[in-house]
Each structure stands twice: as structure tokens, then as C-alpha cells.
Amino acid sequence: MRTYPVDVTVSGWESALEHEASGAVASARQRQRQRQRVHPAVRLGLNRVNGMREAAAGRIEQARAQAPFASVEDLVLRARLDRHDIDALAAADALASLAGHRRQARWQARAAALQAAHHDLLYEAPPAESALSLPAPRLGEDVAADYASTGLSLKSHPLALLRPRLAAMQYATAQELSRCGNNRQVRACGIVTVRQRPSTAGGTIFTSIEDETGAINVILWPDLIERQRKEVLGAKLLGVIGTWQRQGEVRHLVAQELVDLSPLLGRLMVPSRDFH
């Protein structure tokens, strides 16, 4: 199932299913057939945007129901958004349909918020400056900004950008590990998404790490935890050296050594769910 980003021109407060057709349709008969080939997709909701307030999202939906938004300024005025709201939307790249890339959107958002704040005063004196064209952010900057504002990115996985460096360090992907045989010595690396320590596991921690091709389940025995507690509890990007075990569809990596590769992520913020 495809996932589409937050978009102020279509997103509601909650994420919701959208239906997309598989191609252009020319006739009524074709349209009827096409209804049977509609593919569901998920549209991320405005509640994914860090700092977005539900009341402001409600005003956006109400204004949008009256007429589509023509510009960022139109959005700000008709949905009565303040600088906090419009900044949050711009940071989340939710204004792309109206303003273009993230930098351009932030510039237009600030200008629209300022004009809205002085709307009565400036109504008869619209700005005369020509539109400013800003360079688009690099992909890595976009991905980091997406994670900071929505907790994920649909543009690229962070490890896809790091893969050349990780490959040079001989770290395999989850997809490559899935083809490995039982009891192979391997190296893997991924963003830590879950740390679990069940009360019945005798101190063992079960960790999930994620790369651009999938997830890897990692088992951390108590003696390793004692030796490398800092890496176990603090790493955001974790390198694991150990033994790959598989029995049928059950596959996991038993860690023997850990490497904290978090500095490779730079400013990227990647929260994990720990000990729940």
C-alpha cells in the first residue's frame, strides 16, 4: 500500500485512506471497470506535524471545503493561521502543493503570516517585490527535516543515503541477510526502533534495527549488555557483529559486538520505543 505525505490541500487531521486509479479513463464504461481496479493508499494526516494544533487543522478543513486554496497567503487568511501554525506546516513540507520545496514554502509562509497579521493596514498596499527563488534543499537535508517534523520521511530512508559508507564497512542490508544461511557470521547496521526487555527473559534485550530494505531482530545477551551498556542503551544507529540464525521463517541476529554509529546520522532525530 502506498503512502502519501502530509498535504495541506488534501490532508485531514487523522491519516486516512485515499483511492487512486491505475490509469487514465476515457469512457463511462471504462470508468465503471476502473472502479474495480482502484488501489487504496494512505494519506498522512495533519496530526503527524510536530506542533500542529487540532483547532487550526479544523479551520483548514472548513476553509478547504468552501474552495481550494489558491496560495499560501489564501490559506493563512481563510483558515486564520498564525505564525506558529504556518511555520509548523512549512517545516513539515505540507505546503509543497502551494509553494514548492521546503525552503520556498518557509519563505512564503513567513511573508503570508506577516501580511495576515497586518492585513487591514496592508490591504491597499500589496507587496511589489518579485517572487524570490530559493535553491531546493539537498535530499539529506529534506530527510532530516521530515524526521524532525513528522517522525518519518517518504523521500528516502536515511540508510539509503549512507549505504555507500556502510557497504565499505562491510555492513549487510536486511535484504542481504534474508538470503544468508544459518550460523553465518555477519555484520548488520540499522536505526534502533525498539528495545524490549521482557521480565521473563533473564536480562536479555530484544532489539529491532531498521535499514532501507527492512527490519532485523537482534538478540542481546546479558554478558554483552554488561560489557557494552552505553551502546545498548544509547545508540541511535547501531552496528551489530554476530551470528545469523534462521529456522524456517524465524530469523534473528545474535549480537557478539556492538558499534555505535550514531554520528553518521548527523542531526537526524530518530526516536525508539524502549522497554514497553
Cell 525552503 found at: 103
Q: What's the longest Cα–Cα distance across the chain?
A: 75
Q: Where are the alpha helices (DSSP H) in the chain?
A: 28-35, 54-66, 72-78, 83-91, 96-99, 102-117, 119-122, 139-150, 158-168, 174-177, 222-227, 229-234
CATH number at residue 199: 2.40.50.140
Q: Is 142 found in the same domain as 184?
A: no
All cell numbers assigned to 164: 555507500
Determine the structural domain holding residue 222 and report its residue range. 158-274
Last residue of a domain, one of 128, 150, 172: 150
Last residue of a domain, one of 126, 150, 174: 150
φ, ψ (nearest 5 deg) of residue 169? -90, 5
Give the Cα-Cα-Cα angle 142, 145, 148 (nearest 5 degrees). Answer: 155
Tell me, what's the pLDDT at 130?
53
Model confidence, pTM = 0.78
Which residue, among 184, 209, 204, has the nearest Cα to 275 in the 3D structure? 204
Tell me, what's the pLDDT at 32?
55
All cell numbers assigned to 271: 526516536
Last residue of a domain, one of 150, 175, 206: 150
Q: Is 82 found in the same domain as 26?
A: yes
Does 45 have pLDDT greater than 80? Answer: yes
Q: Is 125 found in the same domain as 38?
A: yes
Q: Is 255 found in the same domain as 202?
A: yes
Does 123 have pLDDT greater than 50? Answer: no
Q: Is 26 found in the same domain as 137?
A: yes
Give pLDDT tens digits for 158-211: 999 999 999 999 999 999 999 999 999 999 999 999 999 988 888 999 999 999
Give the chain's domain count.
2
Q: Where are the alpha helices (DSSP H) in 24-118?
A: 28-35, 54-66, 72-78, 83-91, 96-99, 102-117
